[in-house]
Amino acid sequence: MQFEPQDLNDLQLAKSLLENPGLAARLTGMLGTPLERGLAMLPKGWGSQVNALAQTALLKASDAALRSLRDQPGSKAHKRWHTMGVAASGAAGGFFGLAGLAVELPITTTVMLRSIADIARSEGESLAQADTRHACIEVFALGGPTPEDDALESGYFAVRAALATSISEATRHIATRQLSSEGAPVLVRLISTVASRFGVQVTEKAAAQTVPALGAAGGAAINTLFINHFQDMAQGHFIVRRLERRYGKEEVRHVYSQLPAS
């Protein structure tokens, strides 16, 4: 099926968003100093704590964020309001640095997930569908390669393929068991898998927050970059999903691979 010119432009936009330099590059540009300095200042044992922190944040967010949005596919997304909310939580957390991250991150993640769902809805997704809700959670795994990744495993479609089994399993269980405790462990497994990748960005955010004297203004700026990154990932992701519903997954992936990176 031949791509319409506007759909081809949309797919090019999606690729440019999904293949962007990533959160670390944005934070480095804002700080004016290599992020590695901040990473070196993180406490010993931080790596063993960050996945648990990311998983807790995602679990709390998944339980609260999507319930407050109406199921209105095609409605306009309101990125600015969510960005302001995350900036405010970052400003509050900026006073406490790393010590406040455990309190601030679940709030920030909940607002970001709500923004991601808002973007999904604007691209024609129904929030009543379990597959859509899981695709929203999937966004937190995008744009952040883990240390175990190689170049072939960290691309957009590779990440989706890696999560496909967990997502289909969670969707199937919730479809048959609704929100009963029987389906909960399946959702936890999905969130655990996503959290291992989300933790990369959480570590980068934490490293930026170690820069001395950033304070509240710095915390707000870091959180603004944090949510902008995931809003971009969400926009690209749900454009691709919209086009897949029209042209099929294989055709969209083929055309995506032929487009230039920008």
Report the pLDDT value the prediction gives residue 16, as an integer from 0 to 100.
93
Cα torsion 255, 229, 201, 122: sign: negative
Number of neighbours of residue 248 by Cβ within 10 angstroms: 12
Buried b (16+ CB within 10 A) or exposed e, 147-185: eebeeeebbbeebbeebeebbebbbebbeeeeeeeebee
DSSP state of 99: G
Torsion of CA 135, 137, 140, 146, to 10 degrees: -90
135-181 confidence digits (pLDDT tens): 999 999 997 655 555 554 558 999 999 888 888 877 776 666 554 44
175-223 confidence digits (pLDDT tens): 665 544 444 677 788 888 899 899 989 888 888 877 765 555 577 788 8
pTM over 0.75: yes
Number of neighbours of residue 99 by Cβ within 10 angstroms: 10
The tokens describing 63, both together, are 């339980």
Cα(241)–Cα(236) distance, rounded to whole angstroms?
9
Comparing 18-27, 184-193, 225-234, 249-258, which segment has the lowest mean pLDDT? 184-193
Cα(31)–Cα(28) distance, rounded to whole angstroms?
5
Cα(195)–Cα(107) distance, rounded to whole angstroms?
16
Radius of gyration of the chain (CA): 18
